[in-house]
């Protein structure tokens, strides 16, 4: 059995970036009673190396789980190609533990996301794609809508048996790594990853129209809110009084309403851009190594971005350990169009 937590980067449990080790261990303890072997695996952001995995396991509090009988942390950084029909891929690269397991238990973290607005059960499965391949897919599927379609296609391939979302301490604001921990005190469990994401979004105050993933899923007939049965607490009883969200990145009001060349210009002008604070930058080159568009260069141990090359995937913001990168919109958007 493969247990797939969110292990985005080297962060402590209290930072609310990764799935809390207590949630991972509790899940594993139950699963291992019926599974002969449990593998905990993820492909974090950035390079997919054994050294990086070891560091993340240790810092995220996952390392001690390895002491449990018949439970193994994955250190194998190889991957295999899977022939996939009726998708945009034709061939999809996935980490080796996927092929060694009889099923997946998906353990996402409830967080905001600069590109996707929200990240949860469906997006967590993107971590089955090995590091370098993720960068390639970001570059290939630059349009937000097309990226969401790609994530839904991965879901149809992965088919997790169960999804357990860690919303005990979620992340609000500049997620998925630079935001603020937000105590919600909830665990969400569902066999349906899309339904789980819908309910999680309702709890934090997001509608389908606010979240590109849910919007695309509904259009494709994969999400029907009327068919979702909620067992346990009511949404209104667990919803926080406030939750800091990110604005939807797509400037949809210009698409389809203006000539293509003008819409493209305005979209590029109005869309959010990464801004690097050189005073905070520690010169670690995480952004440089992760950028799928190769739009970042290092000068005198500081990162510089070429916005003409930038594809607005915000991987740099996602993986910056120093929180030196902010996502900012144009003055026109902030003061007039917002």
Q: Which of 18, 162, 43, 148 is nearest to 93 (CA)?
A: 43
Q: Cα angle vertex 239, ends 237, 245, to 5°? A: 175
pLDDT at residue number 233: 96
Using CA atoms, how far apart are residues 239 and 118, in angstroms rounded to an integer? 16
pTM for the full predicted model? 0.91
Q: Which residue ranges of the chain lie beneath pLDDT 70?
A: 86, 248-270, 330-338
How far apart CA 196 and CA 133 sit, in angstroms, is 27
What is the model's pLDDT at position 254?
46
Angle subtended by helix axes 144-158 and 212-219, to nearest 10: 70
pLDDT 10s digits, 149-185 = 999 999 999 999 999 999 999 999 999 999 999 999 9
* Per-residue model confidence as pLDDT tens digits over 262-301: 555 555 566 789 999 999 999 999 999 999 999 999 999 9
Tell me the C-alpha distance between 188 and 231, whole Å.
10
> Which residues have CB under 8 Å from 65's CB, separation 6+?
21, 24, 25, 28, 40, 71, 73
| Nearest-angstrom CA–CA distance, 312 and 300 | 24
pLDDT at 104: 98
Task: Answer whether 273's CB lies under 8 Å from 308's CB.
Answer: no
Report strand pairing: 180-190 vs 162-172: antiparallel
pLDDT confidence of residue 263: 54
Q: Rounded to 5 degrees, what angle do the CA atoms 280, 283, 285 make?
A: 125
What is the number of other CB atoms lying within 10 angstroms of the CB of residue 323?
A: 13
pLDDT of residue 194: 98
Structure tokens at 183: 């105590």
Cα dihedral: 231, 24, 208, 129 (round 10): -140
Q: Concatenated DSSP letters for 74-106?
A: -----EEEEE-SSSS-SEEEEEHHHHH-S-EEE
147's enclosing H/E stretch is helix 144-158
List the beta bridge partners of residue 207: none
- What per-residue confidence (pLDDT) applies to 247? 72
CA distance 151 to 237: 31
């Amino acid at each position: 059995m493969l247990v797939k937590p969110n292990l985005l980067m080297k962060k402590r449990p209290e930072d609310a970036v990764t799935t809390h080790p207590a949630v991972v261990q509790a899940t594993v303890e139950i699963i291992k009673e019926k599974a002969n072997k449990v593998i905990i695996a993820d492909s974090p952001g950035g390079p997919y190396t054994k050294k990086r995995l070891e560091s993340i396991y240790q810092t995220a509090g996952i390392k001690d789980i390895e002491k449990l009988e018949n439970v193994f942390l994955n250190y194998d950084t190889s991957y295999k190609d899977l022939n996939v029909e009726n998708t945009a891929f034709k061939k999809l690269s996935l980490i080796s533990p996927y092929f060694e397991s009889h099923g997946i238990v998906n353990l996402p973290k409830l967080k905001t996301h600069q590109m996707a607005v929200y990240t949860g059960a469906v997006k967590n499965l993107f971590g089955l794609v090995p590091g370098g391949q993720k960068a390639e897919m970001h570059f290939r599927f630059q349009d937000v809508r097309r990226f969401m379609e790609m994530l839904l296609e991965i879901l149809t391939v992965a088919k997790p048996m169960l999804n357990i979302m860690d919303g005990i301490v979620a992340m609000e604001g500049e997620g998925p790594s630079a935001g603020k921990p937000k105590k919600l005190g909830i665990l969400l469990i569902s066999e349906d990853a899309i339904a789980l994401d819908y309910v999680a979004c309702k709890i934090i105050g997001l509608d389908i129209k606010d979240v590109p993933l849910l919007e695309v899923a509904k259009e494709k007939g994969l999400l029907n809110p009327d068919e979702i049965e909620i067992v346990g607490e009511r949404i209104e009883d667990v919803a926080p009084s406030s939750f800091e969200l990110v604005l939807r990145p797509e400037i949809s009001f210009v698409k389809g309403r203006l000539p293509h060349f003008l819409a493209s210009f305005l979209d590029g002008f109005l869309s959010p851009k990464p801004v690097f604070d050189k005073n905070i930058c520690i010169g670690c080159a995480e952004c440089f190594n992760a950028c799928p568009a190769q739009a970042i260069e290092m000068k005198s141990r500081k990162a510089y971005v070429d916005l003409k090359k930038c594809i607005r995937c915000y991987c740099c913001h996602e993986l910056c350990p120093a929180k030196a990168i902010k996502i900012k919109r144009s003055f026109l958007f902030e003061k007039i169009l917002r």
